[in-house]
């Protein structure tokens, strides 16, 4: 069974600085998707960035980028130029590529606080 | 385009009662998944429906059930409520077709269920 581990329950960063959130996962599949979701106090889960395992290039979305290390099964999220609006819970998630594994498997989350 | 709509937003029920939660997916989305979010267990997958058929199920007791209607709207039912069922219940919809499962999931704001 797949598992996702986020080892940092809470993190804090000053506005405009850079922060990296860690995520490791375990799977025997060779093709899969990885995601970072953001959940602000409003509770709405918002997709931040996605990575397809067969793509070697790390995904980037504006200030958000990932460091995907397939062999190490590591998928960290880097937030550059942190903004107050980035304050939220961040969840790393895994989804299988096909078959019956269409659901997302989430880590426990990292609570990120951006301080002025 | 309207997002995923979950109703009600908040619900208080008494132990032993049953409850029905509703989810209206984004127009055109045929896949609806349900997740339970608690502080202790995090986000856990309940089930996924596609074209009125349940095609994936998580590890929850039979008290948790769901269905999907021909317009893709989905309902989730919990019978004989227990205190431990208190949670945020999230619904996600995606454009997944029969052959393409792994498309982005869009989440609703959730229903906060409190069992007293």
Indicate if the pLDDT at residue B98 is higher than 60: no
Tokens of A29: 């599949």
Of A96, A104, A105, nearest to B105 by CB-CB distance is A104
Residue A100 is predicted with a pLDDT of 53
CA A69 to each of CA A77, A98, B42, B98: distance values in angstroms, whole numbers, following the listed order: 12, 21, 25, 30
Closest-approach residue (CA) in chain B for A50? B104
Residues of A in contact with B31 (CB under 8 A): 102
> pLDDT tier at A51 (50, 70, 90 boundaries)?
very high
CA A20 to each of CA A36, A75, A85, A108: distance values in angstroms, whole numbers, following the listed order: 12, 10, 16, 16
Residues of A in contact with B56 (CB under 8 A): 100-103
Give the model confidence (pLDDT) of B34-51 as tens digits.
999 999 899 999 999 988
Residue B102 is predicted with a pLDDT of 56
Taken as a whole, chain B contains a residue count of 116
Is residue B47 within 8 A of residue B54, CB to CB? The reply is: yes
Give the model confidence (pLDDT) of A58-100 as tens digits.
999 999 999 999 999 999 999 999 999 999 999 999 988 765 5
Give the model confidence (pLDDT) of A10-31 as tens digits.
999 999 999 999 999 999 988 8
Of B42, B101, B112, nearest to A102 by CB-CB distance is B101
Q: Which of B3, B93, B107, B110 has the most A C-beta neighbours within 10 Å, making it the best mutation to test the interface with A? A: B107
Indicate if the pLDDT at residue B16 is higher than 80: yes
Residue B101 is predicted with a pLDDT of 56
Can you tell me whether residue A85 is helix, strand or coil? helix
């Amino acid at each position: 069974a797949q598992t996702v581990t986020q080892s940092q329950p809470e993190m804090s960063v000053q506005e405009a600085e850079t922060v990296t959130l860690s995520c490791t996962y375990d799977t025997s599949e060779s093709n899969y998707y990885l995601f970072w979701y953001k959940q602000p106090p409003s509770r709405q889960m918002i997709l931040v960035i996605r990575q397809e395992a067969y793509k070697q290039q790390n995904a980037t979305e504006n200030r958000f980028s990932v460091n995907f290390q397939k062999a190490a099964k590591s998928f960290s999220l880097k937030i550059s130029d942190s903004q107050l609006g980035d304050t939220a819970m961040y969840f790393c998630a895994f989804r299988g590529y096909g078959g019956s594994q269409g659901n997302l498997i989430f880590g426990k989350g990292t609570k990120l606080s951006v301080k002025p | 385009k309207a997002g995923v709509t979950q109703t009600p937003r908040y619900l208080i029920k008494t132990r032993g009662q049953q409850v029905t939660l509703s989810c209206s997916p984004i127009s055109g989305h045929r896949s609806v998944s349900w997740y339970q979010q608690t502080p202790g267990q995090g986000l856990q997958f309940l089930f996924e429906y596609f074209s009125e058929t349940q095609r994936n199920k998580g590890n929850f007791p039979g008290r948790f059930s769901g269905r999907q209607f021909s317009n893709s709207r989905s309902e989730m039912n919990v019978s004989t409520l227990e205190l431990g069922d208190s949670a945020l219940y999230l619904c996600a919809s995606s454009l997944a077709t029969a052959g393409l499962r792994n498309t982005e999931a869009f989440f609703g704001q959730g229903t906060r269920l409190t069992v007293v």
